[in-house]
Chains A and B, each alone.
Chain A
Amino acid sequence: MEEQLPKGEHLVDYLEEGEHPVSGNPDLDSWRQADPRNESDLEKYQRIWKASTGAAAFSKFDTSAAWAKVNSLLADQDVRTRRLKNLMYVASGVAASLFIILGLAFYTRFFVISDSAISMKTTNGSRSEVVLPDGSVVKLNAGSSLNYHFDKIHKVREVNFSGEGFFEVSKSTQPFVIETAEGLRVRVLGTKFNLSTYPEDRAVRTTLVEGKVELSMDGADQMVLASGQMASFDKESKTLKYDEGEVSHQIGWLQNKLYMDNMSLNEVCSKLERWYDVNISLADRELGEKIHYTGVLKEESVADVMSALSQLSNIAYQIEGKEIVLSGK
């Protein structure tokens, strides 16, 4: 609106001087008098200014650490109540012989193993972060699901995964192995990487940010990624290959950014459908592969994204609730 520099500079001075400003800044004063709205804006700036020192107090409470604690407490509780139920079952039985109790103890130990399992799911339009019992942190993109369990016999952290996730695997001598629906295995010890394996996508993409990962598949060659490298696994030909590209683009979603490196409209749409939980249909099917985008999108709402895309290319859009129809102009 009226964001010329002189006023801004004076305003910062004014706020910095605090409650008792050395009055008599003619520029600022005339701005304040010019419009009653300016005065109310000034109040807003003051409120932000004051609250911003207090906002720092928030950072002393660590949500991730707290969640890890609550998560493990709940896991313990589950095990305990289940144990109790089992015990009661025996007590109400006919012969609570020592053998049965021993047998039960053995049985509950198995339960404990399966109970260190954890499942998380994100629907379209939502994202989530999960701290696994081993301390690893996984950020889940929209439409993803994860099942974790610790195999105590083989000492392996096992994960079944579909969707897209950014994994920060805690360092341990116990391997962390992810298996996708196609049978691709990603094996790591402690690293940061992004894995994208949506059922509707043609390829499974792995992008390594830090550390080392090993990709393998029954009947295919094994492959090792070093930090900064990425690989894709083609679901049809069942082949693994190194990919070229920018690491930061692959993990742009963590900052709500969509990087498009010559990305087809079809691909853009399938991402947007998941991100915003909408259905996008094309009036003309050929459009999807005809139009390609290069650039980065960072928008608040799906309407903003659509308006940006229509400016970048010759498409028109119509939004009705969760249904979006794209057509050529």
Chain B
Amino acid sequence: MQMDVADDTLITGIKNDDYTCYNQLFVRYYHRLCAFVFTLTQNDSASEDVVQELFIRIWANRQKLEIKETVSGYLYRASKNGALNYLRAEKNRQKSIQKMPVPGWQNDESLIEQIEFSAMLNQCISRLPERSRDVFLKSRFEGMKLQEVADHMGTSVKTIKNQIWKSLCFLKTCLEEKGAFGGK
């Protein structure tokens, strides 16, 4: 079901005080931005704070909101600034620790690309039939060996492999439709 409203449309809505659009934008980007900020802060709750503060600012300043680049580009950049501010404050707080490494940011693009890919993959995984999803998650997320998954589901390794293979085919098609592989 194609229910996705374009990011730009959401921003226009937000400027016109549409709280629904604001909610949609939040739901759409929250995970991705948190995952992105986490690579900098290495701290779960700090990452969430940074992203939540960003969104609160967006709503509070919605009338003045001017986005000249793509919406996602803007959000990633703004959350990076938030993360850097957090790190700076943290550094001041812990003056004694002289060398707080600020990770290099030359690789923003490939990092964002990875996160965007994972986000799309997550959406595709959620569309798998329940049983296939279960098998796939057990083997990939929970790190179970194929034999363990098979025992758990009361079936053979061969069946499990077959199911994972079907899921992979599905995921590949799904990701291709979303243009996840880019020009490669």
A58 contacts B by Cβ under 8 Å: yes
Judge whether A63 and B175 touch: CB under 8 Å.
no
Given A9-B165, A12-B161, CB of A55 within 8 Å of CB of B118: yes
User: What 0/1 readout, one digit per residue, does chain A (26-52) give for beta carbons within 8 Å of chain B?
Assistant: 000000000000001101110111011
CA distance A47 to B24 in the complex (A): 29
CA gap between A40 and B18 in the complex, in Å: 44
Complexed CA–CA distance, A147 and B177 (Å): 37
Interface assignment of A22: CB less than 8 Å from any CB of chain B: no
Residue-wise interface mask of B (142-171) relative to A, using a CB-CB cutoff of 8 A (1 in contact, 0 not) = 010010000000000010011011101101
12 contacts between A and B (CB under 8 A): A3-B169, A9-B162, A49-B140, A51-B117, A54-B114, A55-B121, A61-B31, A61-B48, A66-B26, A66-B51, A126-B24, A276-B1
User: Most A CB atoms within 10 A — which of B2, B18, B169, B172?
Assistant: B2
Across the interface, name the chain B residue whose C-beta is closest to A303.
B2
Residues of B within 8 A of A121 (CB): 18, 20
B136 within 8 A of A: yes
Known: A8-B162, A66-B30. A126 touches B23 (CB 8 A): no
Contact with A along B40-51 (1 / 0, CB 8 A): 000010011001
Chain A residues with Cβ below 8 Å from B141 are 52-53, 55-56
* Residues of chain B from 106 to 135 with CB closer than 8 A to chain A in the complex: 114, 117-119, 121-122, 125
Nearest-neighbour CB distance to chain B for A22, whole angstroms, equals 16
Contacts of B162 in A (CB 8 A): 5, 8-9
Given known contacts A9-B158, A44-B175, A52-B141, is B20 in contact with A122 (CB within 8 Å)?
yes
Flag if A45 contacts B168 (CB, 8 Å): yes
